Amino acid sequence: MSSETARAQRTGPERQRSGRVSLVATVSDDLRRRILEGHLKIGDRLPSEAELTREYSVSRTVIREAIATLRYENLVEARQGAGVFVRNNQPANTVPFSQPDYARISSIIEILELRAAVEMEAAALAAARRSPAQEEAIVERYEDINGLIASGEPTHDADMAFHLAIAEATNNPRFREILALFGLEAIPRALLRPGADATTPKDYLVKIQEEHRRIAEAISLRDEQAARDAMRTHLIGSQQRYRARLRGGNSQGRNT
């Protein structure tokens, strides 16, 4: 089914996006379990996309997103022309340098500075190299965040998925691997405490989403400099907000 046909059949876009996210989680959870329990061993090839589509009775889009989740966790890797293979049997949950102290705002700023250095160039490369399918994936991840904001649900996972989709669109796997080292901790409002999204003001999330829109639009237009600038605005803005909080003391509301 084409993406145009699928969109035409939607009667509740937000509900459908939420349903797809749930299906992605179901498939990725089951494949992850099979890897961690040894049913799929390191070096094993995963069933083909068509086989997984039949096995789980879901669309190819769901399978692709589930596989992307496992790639993000460093459990599997795609080999050009050969398929997807098990790479590791332990999820990536540590970084190869000192673990940041997420209770300290200074540590958050350090992470944001590193992300800016990496993701500004990732956005520019994505604008230059993205395929039509990768462009669509970025737009879909953007729309996922819109749906979650509208329904008042946490956006941490969807926000990270948006940035990972951009990293994927560079067609250089090292960018995705860098982001995967941090996991959800790369999202500032998820750093200070679990569930912070629940108290994040909606107008703030809308502001962040507008920044996401500019990034996605620049990538779609293949405007490398605009993509780089939009990502810089997005991440430097977060740095400035946390520096203002640092200057004002840690007693300010932790909701961004």
CA dihedral 102, 108, 113, 115 (to 10 degrees): 60
216 by Cβ neighbours in 10 Å (0-12 / 13-18 / 19+) ranks as buried
Q: What is the pLDDT of residue 74?
A: 78
Residue 198 · residue 154 · CB < 8 Å: yes
CA angle, corner 120, sides to 116 and 124, nearest 5?
170
3-state secondary structure of 208: helix
Paired with 77 in beta bridges are: 85
Output the DSSP codes for 53-107: HHHHT--HHHHHHHHHHHHHTTSEEEETTTEEEE--SS-----SSPPP-TTSHHH
Q: What is the pLDDT of residue 186?
A: 63
- The conformational region for residue 57 under phi > 0 = left, psi -120 to 50 = alpha, else beta, is left
Set out the domains of the chain in order of their start, with CATH numbers: 11-86 (1.10.10.10), 105-248 (1.20.120.530)
Q: What is the pLDDT of residue 94?
A: 44
To which H or E segment does residue 45 belong?
Answer: none
Q: What is the pLDDT of residue 253?
A: 38
- pLDDT tens digits, the chain, 256 residues: what are they? 333 333 334 334 444 444 555 788 889 889 999 998 889 999 999 999 999 999 999 988 889 888 888 887 778 888 878 899 998 887 655 445 555 554 567 777 888 888 899 999 999 999 999 999 999 999 999 998 998 899 888 887 788 889 989 999 999 988 987 887 766 556 666 544 444 444 578 888 899 999 999 999 999 999 999 999 999 999 998 888 778 777 765 444 333 3
Helical segments of the chain, H only: 3-8, 13-36, 49-56, 60-72, 105-129, 132-151, 156-169, 173-182, 202-220, 224-248
**Structure pTM?**
0.63
Q: Distance between CA 37 and CA 3 in Å, rounded?
A: 35
Paired with 83 in beta bridges are: 79
Beta strand 83-86 with 76-79: parallel, antiparallel or unpaired? antiparallel
**Which residues, in sequence order, are CB contacts of 223 under 8 Å at separation 6+?**
127
Q: Distance between CA 152 and CA 126 in Å, rounded?
A: 30
